[in-house]
Amino acid sequence: MILRASFILVSKNDSPEVNLRSIGRKRFAHLSESLDEIHVDANVPWGEDTLFTLEFRADEGGKYALHTCNNKYLSAGGKLVDACTAACLFSAEYHSGALALRDGAGAYLAPIGSKAVLRTRANVASRDELFSLEDSLPQAAFVAALNEKHVSVKQGVDVTANQDEISSHETFQLEFDWATRRWYIRTMQDRYWTLETGGGIQASGDNKSSNALFELQWQGDGSVAFRANNGKFLLTKRSGHLYASADAVDDNCKYYFYLINRPILVLKCEQGFVGPKGVRMECNKANYETIQVVRGPKGTVYFKGHNGKYWHADSECVTCDSDSPQGFLLELREPTRLAVRAAAGARAYLAAAKNGAFRLAAPDLAAATLWEY
């Protein structure tokens, strides 16, 4: 049975930002090393290059465009292009619960050849042309405030702050446990950070356990502290090793947080999606607008609009018309919800109003809107 989509297509958690999995190849889509194609050969969706946004184009006949993390669009011929043209628009169809994307000539997207390049070819949707949309769990990198090194498992099972760059070894998936409201922290090697005897933290657990649960305590300065199952806070030793041995949070216990797999962000609240009305941003839009996220120092991020301008927020409104960036901090509060606060001044949180306006409200979490992302 074929269902042609005349509605906004989203994943199970209502986010248009997804991982794309081939039904036929049983692999995930990711950016090619040359950044000009999409290849469907990843065993696991890890890092920002496996995140895609299905943009609903209401003014283009209700079709969809596949937007990549490097701010390009997939064309039917398989190449990534800077602007969304007619060749980048696809009709969405459901075939027995799976998704197929069809171009204007009636051909379906599929992974083609030994490199599994995503492009259109066949006019019939077989298993090779079918995909599932997988929820993209938050993946983060952490920088220790003590030595400004990235936390890593590159050198083995010890969790150590000793790397200058972010790779898959410095990227961790955060998996929420609703019963305890704490987090499991998973590596690409399918191991979990675990509290060991003596307080050391190792990525040695292949199963979820109580000693693999960590409470995230946001400090308000762009940093987060981890509280382990022994009630102690993680701290960074001079060697870079992480130990759960601190009774209270000091500078040695602080880690700057970067949401790695959201280089392009979509924000939503109870009123609707965030998007522009002129240069002013509103949060009651029916359709979503992608926001480019630029990483800054010490957990700071800058938001950039399609017009190439940066967000500026104050106690009155949020605009997207600034040539110079204003810093914001992201605080992950739930698997699909985060709080956004200013990185300077009173560090007030962004809060939505029922009329669609939003602004910097107050530095207390009670005043913050938890944005779906």
Of 259, 290, 312, the position where a domain reaches its end is: 259
The rounded distance, in Å, linking the Cα atoms of 290 and 180 is 32
Same domain? 117 vs 155: no
CB 47 within 8 A of CB 140: no
The rounded distance, in Å, linking the Cα atoms of 155 and 160 is 8
Same domain? 162 vs 94: no
Same domain? 301 vs 239: no
310: enclosing H helix or E strand: strand 310-313
100-131 burial, b at 16+ Cβ within 10 Å, e below that, comes to bbbbeeebbbbbbeeebbbbbeeeebeebbbb
Same domain? 11 vs 131: yes
Same domain? 272 vs 249: no
Same domain? 329 vs 359: yes
Q: How many CA atoms lie within 13 A of 357 on its CB side?
A: 9
Neighbours of 306 (CB within 10 A): 13
Number of domains the chain is built from: 3
Q: List 162's β-bridge partners, or say none.
A: none
Of 227, 259, 291, the position where a domain reaches its end is: 259
pTM summary value: 0.85
The rounded distance, in Å, linking the Cα atoms of 244 and 246 is 6
Same domain? 154 vs 118: no
Of 92, 116, 135, the position where a domain reaches its end is: 135
Distance (Å) of CA 359 to CA 269, 278, 340:
13, 16, 11
Same domain? 19 vs 119: yes
The rounded distance, in Å, linking the Cα atoms of 213 and 208 is 8
CB 310 within 8 A of CB 304: yes
Domain of residue 35 covers: 2-135
Neighbours of 250 (CB within 10 A): 13
Q: How many CA atoms lie within 13 A of 193 on its CB side?
A: 32
Same domain? 130 vs 153: no
SS3 54: strand
Residue 4: what pLDDT?
Answer: 43
Q: How many CA atoms lie within 13 A of 328 on its CB side?
A: 24
Residue 287: what pLDDT?
Answer: 82
The rounded distance, in Å, linking the Cα atoms of 15 and 114 is 31
SS3 181: coil
The rounded distance, in Å, linking the Cα atoms of 345 and 362 is 11
How many Å is the Cα radius of gyration of the chain? Answer: 21
φ, ψ at 350 (rounded to 5°) = -75, 130
Residue 15: what pLDDT?
Answer: 57
The rounded distance, in Å, linking the Cα atoms of 224 and 312 is 24
pLDDT, one tens digit per residue, over 135-153 is 889 999 999 999 999 999 9
For the chain, residues with pLDDT lower than 50 are 1-8, 10-13
Same domain? 130 vs 6: yes
CATH of the domain at 209: 2.80.10.50
Same domain? 161 vs 253: yes
Same domain? 270 vs 321: yes
The CA-to-CA distance between both ends of the chain, in Å, stands at 32
